[in-house]
Chains A and B, each alone.
Chain A
Amino acid sequence: MGFFERLLKIDRRIIFTLIAIAIAMPLFFDVSMYVETTSEVRGVFTAVDTLSAGSKVLISFDFDPGSMPELQPMAESFFRHCFSRDLKVIVMGLWPQGPLQANWALDVILNEPDIKAKNLQYGVDYVNLGYTAGNEVVIQRMGSNIHAAFPADYYGTPLDDIPLMKGVRNFDNIDFVYNLSAGYPGTMEWVQFAADRFRATLGAGNTAVQAPLMYPYLGKRQLVGILGGMKGAAEYEVLAQRPARGVRYMFSQGIAHAVVIFFVIVGNVAYFATRKKRKES
């Protein structure tokens, strides 16, 4: 058996091991890769950056722990950006695990020294409305009355008793909507109901699998911008000038992609090199 035949019959476990090493090793080094920002991510960043202090931002956490590596860094950097600009944050979830993901991200950001110094108060500066069942129908309901869709917050406090929610009746009282999505219900439903129907200004952060499907919605009146996967999270951190987990993970991401590309090239070379021999046999 020749060299190329042997390459084509390489045990897949060897490739798995090499990918695992390619991903694990860079985590030990504190290397920041150059991350170029794209107009899609700048769209979201600029929309938030131009809001005046006290503006209300609604963030819908429509994902669960399965998508944490991609979406949690996005959530953290977005919270950090909102709080540093003194925006009021309203959190909710169309996925049952969503509000819990939000609390984890809030725990991280509220304990950062510069944010902690602001002494932000629950119910005044930020609130977690929790999860409510109903998928896109919840968004439809929020378009007419948020208090009807969420009678109480995550901790059971009636919305009417929460200072931040006083005067917030529907999307007319929300300055920016941000959706973190890993599937259904997610960004498509927010575009269809919140942006197209109720004219909400919408930005999104998606898993890389889902992001290409959302690109057609980019542009006027639908999506002001989109963060696609871990790269999108890293770009947002770069724009906010606060490199964090997204940027740190990009080194692993880069090395792993290099290994994959290497094996794609080797596999193709071996395939074409042995094609004639296969035809003859």
Chain B
Amino acid sequence: MHPSPDIGIWIGALLTLGIFSFLYGDNPYYKFCEALFVGVSAGHWFVTLFWTVFVAKMIRNVEIGLNTFITQGFSAGMADYVHWSYIFGGILGFLMLLRLFPKIGWISRWSLAFVVGTTSGLFFINYLVSNGLRQVEKSILSLGAEFWFGNLILVVGTFCGLIYFFFSKEHKGAFGGLARVGIWFLMITFGATFGYTVMSRMSLLIGRMDYLLGNWLGLIG
């Protein structure tokens, strides 16, 4: 046994044990670790976004623009290195803060409207192509190919799954039968997804165990 001399590893290990202690029952040690995690995460995100977005993007660009304007005046070439769009973004960001003042809080909706509008426009085509058209294309498969059985399952599963979500007609008779087959496909899909989720959680636990037994206690190589 060769425990790590690194204080950082010790802190990580003790915090890990603190979070694990919840498995026995709620306790102050767990609550401390949880609060610390939430606080550190919030602080980390605030600092990261402040320096990588607010300072790096907006402040720097405004600074460059103002300095250039003061020393050289307005010139046509400024557009090449001064990104005015960030100032527009800064104004929209400022308008969001007006929510803090109830009387003029409605102005913040302009920023939200801009975000919702641009996001819709940006995603509409991408979703239509990637999640719509391409998937339809991939569902049109040859039944004479090498993997004909897999192709058949995929086509039947897709068709029956769509039938299940068609609620304009009552699920009775042959239509109801197809919907029932669709449910089976959905259940198998959810089962596979759940299996993957279990594997994922086990993987995280393996990572923590390796950290505790290897990095911290030095019991494994």
CB of A137 closer than 8 Å to a CB of B: yes
Distance in angstroms between the alpha carbons of A149 and B204 in the assembled complex: 33
Distance in angstroms between the alpha carbons of A231 and B57 in the assembled complex: 40
CB of B67 closer than 8 Å to a CB of A: no
For B198, the chain A residues whose CB sits under 8 A away are 257, 260
**Known contacts A24-B213, A27-B213, A133-B57: A208-B196 contact under CB 8 Å:** yes
For A66, the chain B residues whose CB sits under 8 A away are 204
Q: B196 touches which one: A136, A196, A229, A260 (CB < 8 A)? A: A229
Would you call B197 and A208 a contact (CB within 8 A)?
A: yes
Would you call A27 and B126 a contact (CB within 8 A)?
A: no
For B23, the chain A residues whose CB sits under 8 A away are 13, 16
Residue from A13, A23, A28, A217 with most neighbouring chain B CB atoms (10 Å): A23
* Chain B contacts with A in 173-221, Cβ cutoff 8 A: 189, 192-193, 196-200, 202-210, 213-214, 219-220
Q: A197 touches which one: B126, B196, B205, B213 (CB < 8 A)? A: B126
Would you call A257 and B126 a contact (CB within 8 A)?
A: no
* Chain B contacts with A in 8-34, Cβ cutoff 8 A: 23-24
What 0/1 pattern do residues 194 to 220 of A give for CB contact below 8 A with B?
A: 011100000000011101110011011
Would you call A253 and B206 a contact (CB within 8 A)?
A: yes
Determine the main DSSP class of B at the interface with A: helix
CB of A221 closer than 8 Å to a CB of B: yes
CB of B129 closer than 8 Å to a CB of A: yes
Would you call B210 and A196 a contact (CB within 8 A)?
A: no
Residue of A nearest to B200 (CB): A208
Would you call B52 and A229 a contact (CB within 8 A)?
A: no
Would you call B206 and A216 a contact (CB within 8 A)?
A: no
CB of B100 closer than 8 Å to a CB of A: no
Would you call B203 and A212 a contact (CB within 8 A)?
A: no
CB of A19 closer than 8 Å to a CB of B: yes
For A192, the chain B residues whose CB sits under 8 A away are 126-127, 129-131
Total A-B pairs, Cβ < 8 A: 113
What 0/1 pattern do residues 94 to 120 of B give for CB contact below 8 A with A?
A: 000000000000000000000000000
State which size class the interface on A falls in.
35 or more
CB of B162 closer than 8 Å to a CB of A: no
CB of B68 closer than 8 Å to a CB of A: no
CB of B122 closer than 8 Å to a CB of A: yes
**Known contacts A13-B23, A16-B23: A207-B130 contact under CB 8 Å:** no
For A217, the chain B residues whose CB sits under 8 A away are 130, 134
CB of A222 closer than 8 Å to a CB of B: yes
Distance in angstroms between the alpha carbons of A186 and B162 in the assembled complex: 27
Residue of A nearest to B210 (CB): A27
CB of B49 closer than 8 Å to a CB of A: yes
What 0/1 pattern do residues 41 to 74 of B give for CB contact below 8 A with A?
A: 0001100110011000100000000000000000
Residue of B nearest to A137 (CB): B122
For A212, the chain B residues whose CB sits under 8 A away are 189, 192-193, 196
Residue of A nearest to B127 (CB): A192
What 0/1 pattern do residues 239 to 281 of A give for CB contact below 8 A with B?
A: 0000000000100110011001000000000000000000000
**Known contacts A27-B209, A69-B204, A209-B196: A196-B53 contact under CB 8 Å:** no
For B189, the chain A residues whose CB sits under 8 A away are 212
Residue of A nearest to B197 (CB): A209
Q: How far is the CB of B76 from chain A (nearest CB, A)?
A: 20
For A257, the chain B residues whose CB sits under 8 A away are 198-199, 202
Q: How far is the CB of A218 from chain B (nearest CB, A)?
A: 9
For B213, the chain A residues whose CB sits under 8 A away are 24, 27-28
For the A-B complex with A27-B209, A96-B44, A230-B203 known, give 6 more contacts whose Cβ atoms are closer than 8 Å.
Answer: A13-B24, A20-B205, A96-B52, A133-B57, A196-B130, A213-B193
- Where the two chains meet, the residues of B that have a C-beta atom closer than 8 Å to any C-beta of A are 23-24, 44-45, 48-49, 52-53, 57, 122, 126-127, 129-131, 134-135, 138, 189, 192-193, 196-200, 202-210, 213-214, 219-220
Top 9 nearest A-B pairs by Cβ distance?
A69-B207, A208-B200, A192-B126, A230-B203, A208-B196, A192-B130, A208-B199, A96-B48, A209-B200
A-B contact pairs, 9 of them (CB 8 A): A23-B206, A27-B213, A133-B49, A136-B122, A192-B126, A192-B131, A196-B129, A196-B134, A252-B209
